[in-house]
Amino acid sequence: MAPCWDCYYWHRAALAVLAGCAPPGCQGPCRRTWEDLRRETAGENVRMWVHPKDGIYQLLCGECSDAYERKRLDLYRATRYGRAKGL
């Protein structure tokens, strides 16, 4: 099954981020733009996470990434990353 156009856009954005481009923002429920995220961090580095979902990548801010990881313990609990985060 092919992803919808919105998911495909975000998948391409995630690939571009992995190639060194700036992200457009968060694909998660918050939907904050890159400018919003930068403004909220007040000069600190903005961290984004790329997660696999339904065969494509999604690009999430820290808050949305933490929520997604808790929902997907099946993917992360048994990994070194999951153990380090206490999942």
pLDDT in tens, 57-87: 999 999 999 898 888 888 777 888 777 777 7
Query: What percent of the chain has pLDDT above 90?
Result: 45
DSSP string, 41-52: HTTSPP-EEEEE
Domain boundaries, the chain: 5-85
- Mapped onto helix, strand or coil, the DSSP state of residue 70 is helix
